[in-house]
Amino acid sequence: MAAEVICISDYKQKKSMSLSKHKLYQLSKAELLDHLIQYYEAVKKDPFSLSIALWGEDLMDVISQRALTRELSALAEDHKKRGPQAFS
C-alpha cells in the first residue's frame, strides 16, 4: 500500500478551514492573526475557491466582532471621558 505524502502547509490550511465559527471565537488574537495570514496565502493560491471564500467570511466576521469592536468601543468611551489626546 502506497503512503500518501501531504504537504504540512496544505494540512494546516485545510485544518484551519474546517474550524467552525464558534471555535474561531475561542481563538486568541495571535491565533486569529495566524489564521488571517493563512487565509491570505490561500487566496493567493486559489482566488476563486468557494470554500476559501466562506472560510474568509467567517474569519473576518469573528475578527471584526472580537478584535475591533471591543477596542473601538473602549477607544470611544475613553474619548468621551478624556476628550481627544495626542498619541506619543
Report the pLDDT value the prediction gives residue 34, as an integer from 0 to 100: 86
Report the pLDDT value the prediction gives residue 87, as an integer from 0 to 100: 41
Cα–Cα distance measured from residue 55 to residue 12, given in angstroms and rounded to the nearest whole number? 13
Per-residue pLDDT tens digits of the chain, which is 88 residues long? 566 776 777 777 777 777 888 888 888 878 888 888 888 888 888 888 888 888 888 888 887 777 556 665 665 567 667 754 444 3
**Residue 55 near residue 62 (C-beta atoms within 8 A):** no
Three-class secondary structure assignment of 38-59: HHHHHHHHCCCCHHHHHHHHHH
What is the largest distance, in Å, between two alpha-carbon atoms of the chain? 70
Q: What predicted TM-score, i.e. pTM, was given to this entire model?
A: 0.60
The CA–CA distances, whole Å, from 67 to 6, 14, 64 equal 33, 24, 6
Cα–Cα distance measured from residue 36 to residue 7, given in angstroms and rounded to the nearest whole number? 20
